[in-house]
Chains A and B, each alone.
Chain A
Amino acid sequence: MRYAGIDIGSRTIELVTVDDRGEQQDSLQTETGFDPIAQAKELIAKVKFDHITATGYGRSLFEIAFDSSTVTEIKAHATGAWTLFPEALGVLDIGGQDSKAISLRNDGRVKKFEMNDRCAAGTGKFLEIMAKSLGYGLDEFGTEALLAETDINISSMCTVFAESEVTSLIAKGENRREIARGVHESVVRRAAAMVNRVAGEGDIVFTGGVGKNPCIVSLLVEKLGRSVFIPDDPQAMGAFGAALLTWQANSGQ
């Protein structure tokens, strides 16, 4: 038997399957685009599975189209993260357009959570826009920022204002790497504050695409002063969690 989880986010869709022991088998990704259901259809045609659970903001669309079960991204991320790192007491997810912090009970259940889904600041989108303003590719943005010796403070929380702040710093001839570092600092400040509000202690699992950014990770470890675990495939954590929940629901686990 194969159990699948699909995470339909606002920017990307991930699909993960697990086997009878809950081990990850396939992991696929595509853009959400303007027709998420068509994209999802294409994705699920590529793998074999017996049951599926949908999560992410498009979960209800998927539920209607494919009569699947659903779970919120909060529970999906918590389940995925805790399964890989059972000693963790918190999860931070920074996705394309939202971010969330979750605190976990010892058994992996959600204790408390907070979501930021009203504003792009502190999300992957924010980093993307800033990288572009600074003329960096997204892949090199974190590595470059890490090389800076100091950082230039970015005070605006709002993406639009922060962008013009960055532009004027460039015009002033400030060091590009240092501005980049400042941008990373600003994201981490918000994220760490959210984690501290929700999950005040214990190890943290960092999920979401932004988990691939080395500068964010290193600043986060520094700010939180706790261990931060990063899964191999941080972006797929929601889909992985959903797949595990499918497995648990259908195999008597």
Chain B
Amino acid sequence: MAEDYRLMWQEMGLDLEAHDALLGVLGQAYEDIYLAQKNRPEGMAYFDFVMSEVHGLRIRELLDEKKAGRKIIGSYCVFVPEEIALAANATLVGLCSGADFATEEVEKLLPRNTCALIKSSFGFKIGKVCPYLEGADMVVGENTCDGKKKAYETLGNMVDNLYVMDLPQVKSENGRALLKAEFYRFMEAVEELTGVTVTAESLKQGIQTVNAKRAAIHRLSLLRQADPAPISGLDALLANQVFFYDNPARFTESVNKICDELEQRVEAGQGAFPKRTPRILVSGCPQAVPNWKLPMIVETSGAVIVGEESCVGERGTRNLTGESGTTVDEMMESLVDRYFKVDCAVFTPNSDRLDHIKEMAAAYKAEGVIHYGLQFCQPYIMESIPVENALEEDGIPCLRIDTDYSLEDAGQLKTRVEAFIEQLR
């Protein structure tokens, strides 16, 4: 089994040696961080399996889909509408970018003061270690933060199928019109890629599939409001991470199955941690696989994470798309409505995000908020100060953290996080 994966990876053009090293680190981290947890829901076995096959079985499935004529599209941002990809017979996967790789090489192309996420996406490309990226028929970049915008100019020279989506920065009528125009342009590009025209029927199906996936995650989130929290923040984050590359229907089913189990747990008063464990909301930059650093530190310091205000989390998954449309145009309107609500920090002004953080803190009964900033991420770090001030005004303690993917600062972070948790008790 493992051997024919090697052949598959080789055929995809991966650098086998570097790839082995990456899988080694990933596997070890998963064991140390995930499998070491206590009181995990049984349903998490599914995600353990997914993670163990993340570069194996899932890649084989995608290659089989390709053989059957589907196209694979890789994306770096939650603004890229999966519904449209599905409707045009393509599969959308998120390209995770959660680990440092080939940093020295990356820093020949990008300034050192670039966020870890962008550096990671370059490192995976340079190192030829991501089968999702190598297998993608189209890679979608988008004009969001300055770092990404400029980085795609360079990435365009490294991948031959980069498509860049323009995105608004203001929630105005013009902004909405731009998003709509760009969604249409994206639809045409995907149609051209796959040779399949989007129909009212296929788009409806796409919307339903993605809505079902989001609804399952909403159900999971809702269950985390219970005290004791029935699932750890680490496990819930993993579900949010796998959201981006698993088969949508299977993902939905598996998450719903976990939710059934969690419902029983809540009823029985069982939790991943004891009742009255301090509850924390994490807000800020996306945490992509395998970036589990902060939740690992928090949950080994005596607190539980009950929500993520993040694109790998509720900012990315909240709001379903309206399903009342009957024509392609009507459905496209509904999609634009839904995506235009995403309150990424690249928007100005962005008071929606502030309101959402407060709402989440209340709904999940979080006693404190940790603002997670990736070093050099201007949009989120800039917003972290008003976020902290607004929360403190409401009497909710907030800890601002700026970090990267390295473990060098783990000890220092742990002290801050522990002190913050002491503060909540």
Task: Evaluate contact between A72 and B397: CB separation under 8 angstroms.
Answer: no
Chain A residues lying within 8 Å of B411, measured Cβ to Cβ, are 57
Task: Evaluate contact between B412 and A72: CB separation under 8 angstroms.
Answer: no
Please provide the chain A residues from 88 to 115 with a CB less than 8 Å away from any CB of chain B in the complex. Answer: 109-113, 115
**In the complex, which residue of chain A has the Cβ closest to the Cβ of B408?**
A118
Task: Evaluate contact between B423 and A115: CB separation under 8 angstroms.
Answer: no
Minimum Cβ distance to chain B for residue A243 (Å): 16
- The answer to the question of A177 belonging to the interface, with a C-beta cut-off of 8 Å to chain B, is no
- The answer to the question of B422 belonging to the interface, with a C-beta cut-off of 8 Å to chain A, is yes
Please provide the chain B residues from 390 to 425 with a CB less than 8 Å away from any CB of chain A in the complex. Answer: 392, 397, 409, 411-412, 415-416, 418-419, 422-423
Chain B residues lying within 8 Å of A239, measured Cβ to Cβ, are none
**In the complex, which residue of chain A has the Cβ closest to the Cβ of B421?**
A72
Minimum Cβ distance to chain B for residue A27 (Å): 24
From the candidates A74, A75, A113, A115, name the one contacting B412 in the complex (CB within 8 A): A115
Task: Evaluate contact between B412 and A73: CB separation under 8 angstroms.
Answer: no
Bitwise interface map of A from 29 to 73 toward B, beta carbon under 8 Å scored 1, else 0:
000000000000000000000000000010000000000000111
**In the complex, which residue of chain A has the Cβ closest to the Cβ of B412?**
A117
Task: Evaluate contact between A75 and B415: CB separation under 8 angstroms.
Answer: no
Minimum Cβ distance to chain A for residue B367 (Å): 13
**In the complex, which residue of chain A has the Cβ closest to the Cβ of B414?**
A60
Minimum Cβ distance to chain B for residue A206 (Å): 19
**In the complex, which residue of chain B has the Cβ closest to the Cβ of A113?**
B419
Chain B residues lying within 8 Å of A71, measured Cβ to Cβ, are 422
Tally of contacts, chain A with chain B, CB under 8 A: 32
Binding site for A on B (CB under 8 A): 392, 397, 409, 411-412, 415-416, 418-419, 422-423
Chain A residues lying within 8 Å of B419, measured Cβ to Cβ, are 72-75, 110, 113
Chain A residues lying within 8 Å of B416, measured Cβ to Cβ, are 115
Chain B residues lying within 8 Å of A118, measured Cβ to Cβ, are 409, 412
Chain A residues lying within 8 Å of B409, measured Cβ to Cβ, are 118
**In the complex, which residue of chain B has the Cβ closest to the Cβ of A105?**
B423
Minimum Cβ distance to chain B for residue A97 (Å): 12
From the candidates B392, B418, B423, name the one contacting A109 in the complex (CB within 8 A): B423
Task: Evaluate contact between B422 and A75: CB separation under 8 angstroms.
Answer: yes
Complex A-B, nearest 8 residue pairs according to Cβ-Cβ distance, in ascending order: A74-B419, A72-B419, A75-B422, A110-B423, A72-B418, A117-B412, A72-B415, A72-B422
Task: Evaluate contact between A73 and B423: CB separation under 8 angstroms.
Answer: no
Assembly CA distance A118 to B409 (angstroms): 9
**In the complex, which residue of chain B has the Cβ closest to the Cβ of A115?**
B416
Assembly CA distance A111 to B368 (angstroms): 12
Assembly CA distance A57 to B411 (angstroms): 8
Please provide the chain A residues from 2 to 47 with a CB less than 8 Å away from any CB of chain B in the complex. Answer: none
Assembly CA distance A111 to B419 (angstroms): 10
- SS class, residues of chain A in contact with chain B: mixed
Could you write out 28 A-B pairs with CB less than 8 Å apart?
A57-B411, A57-B415, A71-B422, A72-B415, A72-B418, A72-B419, A72-B422, A73-B415, A73-B419, A74-B415, A74-B419, A74-B422, A75-B419, A109-B423, A110-B419, A110-B422, A110-B423, A111-B423, A112-B392, A112-B397, A113-B419, A115-B412, A115-B415, A115-B416, A117-B412, A117-B415, A118-B409, A118-B412
Assembly CA distance A109 to B421 (angstroms): 12
Assembly CA distance A72 to B424 (angstroms): 13
Assembly CA distance A117 to B412 (angstroms): 7
Please provide the chain A residues from 112 to 129 with a CB less than 8 Å away from any CB of chain B in the complex. Answer: 112-113, 115, 117-118
Minimum Cβ distance to chain A for residue B397 (Å): 7
Q: Other CB < 8 Å A-B pairs besides A57-B415, A115-B412, A118-B409, 19 of them? A: A57-B411, A72-B418, A72-B419, A72-B422, A73-B415, A73-B419, A74-B415, A74-B419, A74-B422, A75-B419, A75-B423, A109-B423, A110-B422, A111-B397, A111-B423, A112-B392, A112-B397, A113-B423, A115-B415
Minimum Cβ distance to chain A for residue B115 (Å): 18
Assembly CA distance A117 to B423 (angstroms): 20
Assembly CA distance A111 to B418 (angstroms): 14
Chain A residues lying within 8 Å of B412, measured Cβ to Cβ, are 115, 117-118
Assembly CA distance A110 to B416 (angstroms): 12
Assembly CA distance A110 to B409 (angstroms): 23
Minimum Cβ distance to chain A for residue B423 (Å): 5
Minimum Cβ distance to chain A for residue B394 (Å): 14
Minimum Cβ distance to chain A for residue B278 (Å): 14
Chain B residues lying within 8 Å of A113, measured Cβ to Cβ, are 419, 423
Chain A residues lying within 8 Å of B422, measured Cβ to Cβ, are 71-72, 74-75, 110
Chain A residues lying within 8 Å of B392, measured Cβ to Cβ, are 112
Minimum Cβ distance to chain A for residue B422 (Å): 5
Assembly CA distance A73 to B415 (angstroms): 8
Chain A residues lying within 8 Å of B415, measured Cβ to Cβ, are 57, 72-74, 115, 117
**In the complex, which residue of chain B has the Cβ closest to the Cβ of A118?**
B412
Assembly CA distance A113 to B415 (angstroms): 11
Assembly CA distance A118 to B418 (angstroms): 18
Minimum Cβ distance to chain A for residue B313 (Å): 25
**In the complex, which residue of chain A has the Cβ closest to the Cβ of B415?**
A72
Assembly CA distance A74 to B416 (angstroms): 8
Assembly CA distance A71 to B421 (angstroms): 11
Assembly CA distance A117 to B415 (angstroms): 10
Assembly CA distance A113 to B397 (angstroms): 11
Assembly CA distance A115 to B413 (angstroms): 10
**In the complex, which residue of chain B has the Cβ closest to the Cβ of A110?**
B423
